[in-house]
Amino acid sequence: MNSKKPYEAQNSGGVDSPKMAGRAKILLGIGCILFSLLALRIFLYQTLHYDYYQKKVLEQMTTEASVTAARGNIYDANGVLLATNVTTYRVFISPSSIATAQTEHNKNSDGVKLDELIAEKLSSILDVSYEYVLQQTGYTTYLDRTIQRQVEEEKADQVREFIDAYGLQQMVYLQATHTRYYPYSSVASHVLGFTGSDGTGLYGLELSYNSLLKGTDGRYITARDAQGNEMPYEYKEYIAPVDGYNLNTTIDVFVQSALEEQLKAAYIESNAQNRAAGIVMNVHTGEILAMAVYPYFDLNDPWTLDTQSSLMLDLSEYLEGSDEYSALKQELLLKMWSNKAITENYIPGSTFKTITAAMALEEDVVDLDEHFMCPGYKIVNGRKIRCHKTQGHGSLSFVQGIQQSCNPVLMTMGERLGIPTFYQYFKSFGFAEKTGIDLPGEGGSIFAAEEDCIPLDLAIYAFGQNFNVTLIQQITAISAVANGGYLVTPHTVSSITDKNGKVIQSFDTNVRRQIISAETCKTVAKILEEGVSGDGGAKNAYVPGYRIAAKTGTSEKKNEGSLGRYICSTVAFAPADNPQYAVIIMVDEPTSGVLYGSTVAAPYVGNVMESILPYLGVEAVYTDAELEKTVVTIPQNCLFWNASTAKKFFSSYGIEAEIVGDPDGIVYKQFPEQGIVVERTGAKVILYTEKSAEETVVKVPDVTGLSAAAANQVLINAGLNIRVNGTKNYTGSGVRVTAQSLPEGALVPKGTVVEITVLYLGGDDIGIDLEH
């Protein structure tokens, strides 16, 4: 029996109702807060963070393809194309799409394995391994895996045929790209540089001006589903690329080719072991018309070693693929690519005497006709420093001391200048700083600090030994002597233009400072020119019709492992009475022949000048003596002419004609033939007037070791024509025939041309010989 009262029973469930109500309110409050937070988050998503999350969504439902900008072209000074682009293709696959398509194929039970099919066909077309392509198909979470870049049009067409034949449009793709192309292959290779597989400049101008050349890539955005297929509705956006700017350089292809030809000849004929380098520069503007290093390399295939480097790699006997092999190959590639003309330094030797002479004349510490006595050495601080002519030059003037490259004369100039003044000029000529040329990797000089320099150092520095400079520093300093005393900044780019030819930026002459007076410059130029055309040590750089100012130099390398190896160089400018262009050539570690700058480098500097000066508009002015030494080209084949008429014709060209047979007969044979070049002195043509007449045969004499004049007379007396290579300055002692084109005793037709090489074999200083 329930003892509770009715009212108690009625209120028994209401005892906890206030608690329940409180809990409900709390839950409701929490719900409201959560709802508010959710609403706030949705509000933020849809307002403040809308762009961010829209981007996230689009990234998950779109793919973005890069549209490569066209890299700017590079031109020479005359608008000749040096670097441009060709269209190639990137072949890539979509592993995600392949996996999805494979699933559909499996449902249909047709048994086709798409990954194997694609791997088989692409590996065959593109010459890549089957395993590599198959591996790429396995990255099924990716929409884009590259199979090969820089695919040419022919193979790209085969890939297109494969795609169409098997309906693989959503799985295999081709993307048009730009690949760098150099029409002249190796010309100016160390100046132009090259690009990597991604189109980024790695060396030379391609690196220095990369930001201007490369342009800005565009984008093509396409909507895709989770499997990588294009969405059925439109969501596409195209952002056009901005092409790169063009470079207009100061390089002249003709001048560049002339320099490269002579560098190659100097390198090969001296059997050099450590490359050769040269520069041609406008002395007034600092424009680099040519800069070259030999061996050069193919810009269209820069990862292949040159012949000498390949030989060094082979001789290492490292196993191909080994770490040692790979490391050596990389080292050789880096050396091959480096621009020796600006990155490496060398001991300038006697070419620096031009600078010391300019200092001395500017400071008025010497008179031109002042005489000195050279016993073959000079004692400085108790040390005997020898001259290159160890028996001594005897008594000679300052002018002769420069032309004969006398070390004691230059040491005396250094002594008179003193350390502070010498260093002041040394720095003013730019040897203590980089030139600022617009190419990457420029090196600097190595010399003792002024406070550490002692009189012994000064004496040796004065004739160009025991310190290092770069080739670009040396030609820039020499150009200051040539142009009236102004140090200019060398540069290789004249302007930057857009694809429509609008000039974006131009580069004018930058004069850094004036170092010496124009009068001093004229005096130095006259001294050097008279040494070339007279009896100086640089006569192998002589060019008939042109006044060449030149100085040769030879130095012994001082670094460990290179003792006993030499650097031979020559620097010149012309015309000496109105200088316009300077040329420098340096050959590193020559091993064959007479190892002087006067023999290893000077003839090739002269050849460069002979090639480029007429081309650049510098007119030759011949003296009467030079006209007698000029060459003549056989102007005509006078076959079937009357012999006496032909004889008069050749006489009008200053060529003697000897008739074999009837003097009034018909010419049936002529020797030499039209187009052959011979020396004007003693030039002779043999005319045969009988069909059955046998050619008159003569024996070739040996003229090596003779002077040029003696060799010329011997060959003429033998009935032979002559062509002289090498120096055209036969004055003074030391000029000898070093080679002849036909061997002694050879039987040849009368009138045959024998080419002889004539060189001045006198030397300049080699290293330093010190005695206590």
Q: What is the pLDDT of residue 20?
A: 72
DSSP 132-145: HHHHHHT-TT-S-E
- Which of 389, 384, 417, 383 lies closest to 403 in space, CA to CA? 389
Q: What is the pLDDT of residue 558?
A: 78
The CA distance from 658 to 767, in Å, is: 54
Compute φ and ψ for 110, nearest 5 degrees: -90, -5
Q: What is the pLDDT of residue 692?
A: 65
Q: What is the pLDDT of residue 265?
A: 95
The pLDDT of 533-547, averaged and rounded, is 89
Asked if the model's pLDDT at residue 274 lies above 60, the reply is yes
The answer to whether the CB of 743 falls within 8 A of the CB of 733 is no
Task: Quote the crossing angle between the two packed helices 95-108 and 130-137, to the nearest 10°.
Answer: 80
Q: What is the pLDDT of residue 15?
A: 47
Compute φ and ψ for 29, nearest 5 degrees: -65, -45
Hey, what are 690's tokens? 């009988």
What's the helix, strand, coil split of the chain in %, to 5?
35, 25, 40
The answer to whether the CB of 599 falls within 8 A of the CB of 759 is yes
Task: Quote the crossing angle between the two packed helices 323-337 and 307-315, to the nearest 10°.
Answer: 160
The CA distance from 318 to 598, in Å, is: 40
Span of 337-346, 393-402, 609-618, 708-717 with lowest mean pLDDT: 708-717
Distances (CA, A) of 14 to 7, 19, 22, 379, 647: 12, 10, 14, 126, 148
Using a 10 angstrom Cβ sphere, with 0-12 exposed, 13-18 middle and 19 or more buried, the burial of residue 522 is middle
| Number of helices (H), then strands (E), in the chain | 26, 34
Q: What is the pLDDT of residue 487?
A: 98
CA torsion 291→297→300→302, rounded to 10°? -120
Q: What is the pLDDT of residue 624?
A: 82
Q: What is the pLDDT of residue 557?
A: 87
pLDDT in tens, 88-129: 888 999 998 898 888 877 766 566 789 999 999 999 999 999
Asked if the model's pLDDT at residue 444 lies above 50, the reply is yes
The CA distance from 684 to 647, in Å, is: 10
pLDDT in tens, 210-245: 999 999 988 777 665 554 555 554 556 778 889 999
- Which of 234, 454, 488, 202 lies closest to 339 in space, CA to CA? 202
CA torsion 336→338→343→346, rounded to 10°? 10
The answer to whether the CB of 156 falls within 8 A of the CB of 76 is no
The CA distance from 208 to 434, in Å, is: 16
Residue with tokens 């004969």: 404
Q: What is the pLDDT of residue 218?
A: 85
Give every strand in the sheet of 236-239, ordered side by side: 62-67, 218-223, 236-239
The pLDDT of 320-328, averaged and rounded, is 93
pTM: predicted TM-score of the whole model, two decimal places = 0.82
The CA distance from 471 to 600, in Å, is: 16
Q: Is 597 helix (H, G, I), strand (E, B) or coil?
A: helix
Hey, what are 132's tokens? 């590599």
Q: What is the pLDDT of residue 62?
A: 60
The pLDDT of 611-623, averaged and rounded, is 92
Sign of the CA dihedral running 257, 263, 269, 275 = negative
Q: What is the pLDDT of residue 183?
A: 96
Out of 68-72, 436-440, 728-732, give the one with best mean pLDDT.
436-440
Task: Quote the crossing angle between the two packed helices 455-462 and 419-428, to the nearest 10°.
Answer: 40
The answer to whether the CB of 478 falls within 8 A of the CB of 354 is yes
Residue 223 bridge partners (DSSP): 62
- Average per-residue pLDDT for the chain: 88
Residue 483 has what DSSP assignment?
T
How far separated are the first and last CA of the chain, in Å rounded? 140
The pLDDT of 132-140, averaged and rounded, is 92
What pLDDT band is residue 615 in, cutting at 50, 70 and 90? Answer: very high
Asked if the model's pLDDT at residue 27 lies above 90, the reply is no
The CA distance from 723 to 701, in Å, is: 15
Q: Is 506 helix (H, G, I), strand (E, B) or coil?
A: strand
Give me the percent of the chain exceeding a pLDDT of 70: 90
The CA distance from 683 to 267, in Å, is: 33
Span of 14-28, 222-236, 427-441, 560-574 with lowest mean pLDDT: 222-236
The CA distance from 272 to 251, in Å, is: 26
Q: Is 684 helix (H, G, I), strand (E, B) or coil?
A: strand
Q: What is the pLDDT of residue 466?
A: 93
pLDDT in tens, 738-767: 999 999 999 999 999 999 998 888 766 554
Compute φ and ψ for 288, nearest 5 degrees: -90, 110
Q: What is the pLDDT of residue 4?
A: 46
What pLDDT band is residue 768 in, cutting at 50, 70 and 90? Answer: low
Give me the percent of the chain exceeding a pLDDT of 90: 67
Q: What is the pLDDT of residue 359?
A: 98
What pLDDT band is residue 7 in, cutting at 50, 70 and 90? Answer: very low
The pLDDT of 60-70, averaged and rounded, is 70
The answer to whether the CB of 554 falls within 8 A of the CB of 744 is no
The CA distance from 447 to 430, in Å, is: 13
pLDDT in tens, 148-201: 988 988 999 999 999 999 889 889 999 888 889 999 999 999 999 999 988 899
The answer to whether the CB of 538 falls within 8 A of the CB of 349 is no
The CA distance from 385 to 405, in Å, is: 14
